[in-house]
Each structure stands twice: as C-alpha cells, then as structure tokens.
Amino acid sequence: MIRIVEDDLANLPVAAVVRAADEYLAPVGPQSAALDARGGDRLARVLAAQAPLEIGSAVITQAGDLAAEFVLHVIVQGETRQASRDTVHKALISAWHRAEAWQLGAVGAALGGLALPLEESALLLVETFQDRPGDLVFPADLYVVIASSGERSAIEPFLGNGSR
C-alpha cells in the first residue's frame, strides 16, 4: 500500500528510507544531503567506505542516526551521466528488489528527493511500486513523504485504490 505522509523523512519510523545518490554514494539533491546530515558520523562512515556503483542500481546500508534502520541508496547519476527518468526508474526497481531480499516491511521516500520534477518522481514511485511482480511481498508499504499541498497534488492523480 502507498501512504502519503507529511513528515521529515529522517524521522520516519520505517525499515528503510530511499536516498538518491551518485555512483560514489554522494548525495543527489537537497533531500539526500539533509539525510546525510541527520544520519551523522555513523552514516558518513558507511558512505565513505563504498566503491563506485552502477548507475540504475541500489544498495542498502545502515542508517546511522536516522529513525529508519537502513538506507536504500538509489544510484541515479554519475560523473558523466545526469539523473534521468530511465536511471531513476531502474534504480527504484532495483531498490524494491533489494527491499524484498532484505524483507523490509515499510520503506519511505521523499517525493522531492529523486532528482526529477515532482510529477515525474510521483509517477515513477507509484508505477515501480505497484508494478512489482506479484510474488514480491516486501516492502508491503511505501510511505511517500510530502512537504506541501502542492506535492500532494503532484502524486494524488497517480494513486488508485489501496492508496491514501
């Protein structure tokens, strides 16, 4: 089920939060940078230990001082390739597969945190989450964090039954 919440992603009590990153796990956008700051030194140490990653992939790390236990880093861009609909789409699919493998029950993502316009981010979050193969059980819930009524308006048109 997709749930819309007005909250701070860093404070969301879910199994994992989604964070947009580049191929070296550097933050992509202000939402990711804010998560890094709130994650503290423990998250910073985990990020510093990573090697270059494939664009369109996702990796899980500990979350440091965030309310979530883990961070699902979606690798959406690199030094020579900017974030695009394609890279975010592939990275979100990878994130849902990682969440399944780790049996993460609930995942949170900031609507404004995917390095794309709000409507495009909303569509990709909803499509990739709802279009997962039927045998995938995890994550059972996706909490989409919004910061304003404008963000709510960006995602609501893409939500059908089973979402609120």
Residue-level pLDDT at 148: 87
pLDDT digits (tens, 9 = 90+) for 90-118: 999 999 999 999 999 999 999 999 999 99
Q: Identify whether 85 is part of a domain.
A: yes
Measured distance CA(8)–CA(31) in Å, rounded: 10
Q: Identify whether 81 is part of a domain.
A: yes
pLDDT > 50? residue 70: yes
Residue-level pLDDT at 75: 97
pLDDT digits (tens, 9 = 90+) for 108-159: 999 999 999 999 999 999 999 999 988 889 999 999 999 888 899 889 998 8
In sequence order, what E strands does the chain have?
A: 2-6, 16-22, 58-62, 70-77, 106-110, 141-146
pLDDT > 80? residue 68: yes
Q: What is the residue range of 12's domain?
A: 2-158
Q: Identify whether 67 is part of a domain.
A: yes
Q: For the whole model, what pTM was predicted?
A: 0.92
Question: Is 42:17 a contact under the CB 8 Å cutoff?
Answer: no
Comparing C-alpha atoms, which of 66, 130, 94 is closest to residue 86? Answer: 94
Q: Identify whether 149 is part of a domain.
A: yes
Length of the chain counted residue by residue: 164
The β-bridge partners of 108 are: 17, 143
Compute how many other C-beta atoms are within 10 angstroms of the C-beta atom of residue 117.
Answer: 12
pLDDT > 80? residue 50: no
Comparing C-alpha atoms, which of 78, 79, 72, 80 is closest to residue 125? Answer: 72
Q: Identify whether 163 is part of a domain.
A: no
Number of domains forming the structure of the chain: 1
pLDDT > 70? residue 163: no
Q: Identify whether 164 is part of a domain.
A: no
In the DSSP assignment, the letter for residue 27 is: B
Residue-level pLDDT at 161: 45
CATH number at residue 149: 3.40.220.10
Residue-level pLDDT at 162: 43
